[in-house]
A and B are shown apart, each in its own frame.
Chain A
Amino acid sequence: MTVHNLYIFDRNGNCLYYNEWNRKKQAGISKEEEYKLMYGMLFSIRSFVSKMSPLDMKDGFLSFHTSKYRLHYYETPSGLKFVMNTDLSVSNARETLQHIYSNLYVEYIVKNPVCVLGQSLDSELFSSRLDAFIRALPYYSPRAA
């Protein structure tokens, strides 16, 4: 039971924040390229889902899983995208992501007069609180190598 990594993207596709906790395999490309690929994949998945869907959707794309990991997705109405990769035992992390948005992002970034929205989040307080929050999650456990 573990969280691998977390990305936060803004509405233009810029990666505002990235952190990893238990990542075993790097993507083999530079971090910038990986952010762009991740954002591009999510953008395409959203467009794919809106065309494929047999009925009108309310929340849209929620998550996907492969044989080894699960990707959870949460998008705010302002276009901010929260993406979290966990292992397969975590079935629903939507509330976690909503909590990260409303209790961490809004509190420590939006309400911070020094932080410029749209640029990389470099608030120490935000990073440390987010890290503490993730480590405190019931499904997080630092995996033994």
Chain B
Amino acid sequence: MVIYSVYVVNKAGGLIYQYDNYVPRAEAEKTFSYPLDLILKHHDEKVIVSFGQRDGIRVGHAVLSINGVDVMGKSTAEGKDILEYLKDPSNYPVSIRFGRARLSSNEKLMLASMFHSLFAIGSQLSPEVGSSGIEMLETDVFKLHCYQTLTGIKFIVLADPRQSGIDALLRKIYEIYSDFALKNPFYSLEMPIRCELFDQNLKSSLEVAEKAGNFGAGS
């Protein structure tokens, strides 16, 4: 029962706070000999697997490190292009680590703004009168909960689908926001939240919610 991350979005749609509580790292490291039986391609400044899913390496996984050295985007740590490097038989056998690519800050900003728009479209396309935006979005591996306050701030929590008590957690995060961010005289509204007390209290309330969620879903 885990809570993966928390995002706070201001009323213009910009991300003002982001915290990753638990980032599962599903990675697979394998040694390969020439020729490589996976097909790799460039995507978004990364090298990802486009075909050849096997042994824990899935389509969409990115190249994280080669021979133990972390890669930098499309090139190795020494600056050589990865696809060129892997086409050269003299570089083999090579050990490559694949896994889900971590989101960069820019990507998180874009995703938060994307959700802000999707939230509004969910309300517009409603077949019922007076609908709010998207309050909960469900997939097979996570549930995204969103609480929009009267002032337009959205608190978004990504959690395990079986985790309970997220509604109470969202209200609690709003309370923590109003206590430690809004009442902070040095904090400007709608700006990124950089308040230590907010971080600390958020972390402890996430721990409380995870433990409480375990009791609730145990039966």
Bind each other: yes
Count residues on chain B whose CB falls below 8 Å from chain A CBs: 40
Stretch at the interface among B76-84, B111-119, B183-191, B192-200: B111-119
* Contact, CB under 8 Å: A54 / B141: yes
Among B99-155, those with CB < 8 Å from A are: 100, 103, 107, 111, 114-115, 117-118, 121-142, 144
Tell whether A41 pairs with B100 under 8 Å between CB atoms, given A53-B139, A57-B141, A66-B135. Answer: no
Tell whether A56 pairs with B135 under 8 Å between CB atoms, given A41-B122, A68-B128, A69-B128. Answer: no
Bits for A50-76, please: 1 = Cβ < 8 Å to B, else 0: 111111111111111111110100000
Interface residues on A, range: 35 or more
Query: In the complex, what's the smallest C-beta–C-beta distance from A62 to chain B, in angstroms?
Result: 5
Closest to B100 in A: A56
Query: In the complex, what's the smallest C-beta–C-beta distance from B189 to chain A, in angstroms?
Result: 26
List 10 A-B pairs, minimum CB-CB distance, nearest first. A4-B127, A68-B131, A68-B128, A67-B132, A64-B137, A23-B127, A59-B140, A55-B141, A25-B129, A54-B4
Q: Could you list 10 A-B pairs, sorted by A, with CB under 8 Å?
A: A24-B128, A25-B126, A25-B128, A38-B125, A41-B118, A41-B121, A51-B103, A54-B142, A58-B140, A65-B134
- Extra contacts, 6 of them, besides A64-B136, A66-B126 (Cβ < 8 A), are A41-B118, A44-B114, A48-B118, A64-B138, A69-B126, A69-B128
